[in-house]
Amino acid sequence: MCYDASYLTKRALDYARLRGHDPQNIADLEIQWEQIKKNLGPKFHTSGFEHPYLVGYKHEPAMQVHTFYWGLIPFWVKDGKSAQQMAHRTLNARGETIFEKPAFRSSAKNHRAVVVVDQFFEHHHHKGKTYPFLIKRKDEAPMHLAALWSEWVNKETGEVLQSASIVTTDGNQLLSKIHNNPKMKGPRMPVILEPETTETWLNPELAKKQVLELMQPYEDRALDAYPVGRLRGKNRVGNQKEVLEKVNYPELAESMNL
């Protein structure tokens, strides 16, 4: 699954340029992005269980960067306590069942989004211990992750909250080596989109069958992965640049071949 991520640079602006927007719109985005960075701060590592805000896009308006509370809260949730409980369970959405699960099916039909990150993290299990790995694109390009979003109104406070869940699919061969949680039925990974499939994913006219066809593992050869320092526990690195540095664990030498 995808519970840990990193977003440091102007990846949302890179994405806007890929979509062919004109320079004036890009300039407007620059201003908006600077405000977002000021509010969010750098995210060398962030955990979904802390419910940070993710940066991304919806279909409309195209020229606007959105921030999404990580952990989707459906519109029908009644109160703040229930919303918090729901968000803990909806950091990820299994792509195969998004049209079936009550928390996701409305968003799967009408509210698809893209979350832009630099890289994500997964944990490898070995002899009772876990070891975090950083996964990124080899070309250092931004990762566009398929997501679902929802708008929820807190009737107790009047607050309007946009929230999102990252959509996952079966893990590719690389993730099969890393994401070996014995409590799960096979490896998982976020749905990583290319520019053309990003536009397809955001298309509000897309049929259910076409949406499900996008739930494909990303190709192994385009990704790079290496172990990093602890993300959790008393020895965790925290939200520091050092969390992105490679760490060698001798005990993994025989079990891993990356």
Q: Give the pLDDT score at 181.
A: 84
Asked, as a colleague might, if the bond just before 190 is cis with ω within 30 of 0, I would say no
Which of 234, 244, 191, 198 has the alpha carbon at shortest distance from 6?
Answer: 244
Q: Give the pLDDT score at 37.
A: 67
Q: Are strands 160-170 and 66-70 parallel, antiparallel or unpaired?
A: parallel
Which of 68, 65, 64 has the alpha carbon at shortest distance from 149?
Answer: 68
What residue has token string 């409309």? 60
Q: Is 21 left (phi over 0), alpha (psi -120 to 50) or beta?
A: beta
Q: Give the pLDDT score at 184.
A: 80
Which of 16, 201, 193 has the alpha carbon at shortest distance from 108?
Answer: 201
Q: Give the pLDDT score at 88.
A: 96
* 10-residue mean pLDDT series, the chain (258 residues): 66 58 62 69 87 86 78 96 96 97 97 92 91 94 93 94 97 92 86 90 94 96 95 88 93 72
pTM tops 0.85: yes
Contact predicate 234/188, CB 8 Å: no
CATH of domain 4-246: 3.90.1680.10
Q: Give the pLDDT score at 255.
A: 67
What residue has token string 């803990």? 88
Q: Give the pLDDT score at 66.
A: 83
| Structure tokens that stand for 138 in this block | 């080899």
Q: Give the pLDDT score at 213.
A: 96
| Structure tokens that stand for 154 in this block | 């807190």
Kindly report the CA angle at 175 between 170 and 179, in degrees rounded to 5? 90
3-state helix, strand, coil in the chain (%, to 5): 30, 30, 40
Q: Give the pLDDT score at 80.
A: 94
**Residue 242 neighbours by CB under 8 Å, 6+ apart:** 229
Q: Give the pLDDT score at 249.
A: 92
What residue has token string 């840990």? 4
Contact predicate 182/228, CB 8 Å: no
Secondary structure (H, E, C), 3-47: CEEEECCCHHHHHHHHCCCCHHHHHHHHHHHHHHHHHHCCEEEEE
Which of 241, 227, 214, 249 has the alpha carbon at shortest distance from 118?
Answer: 241
| Structure tokens that stand for 102 in this block | 């009550």
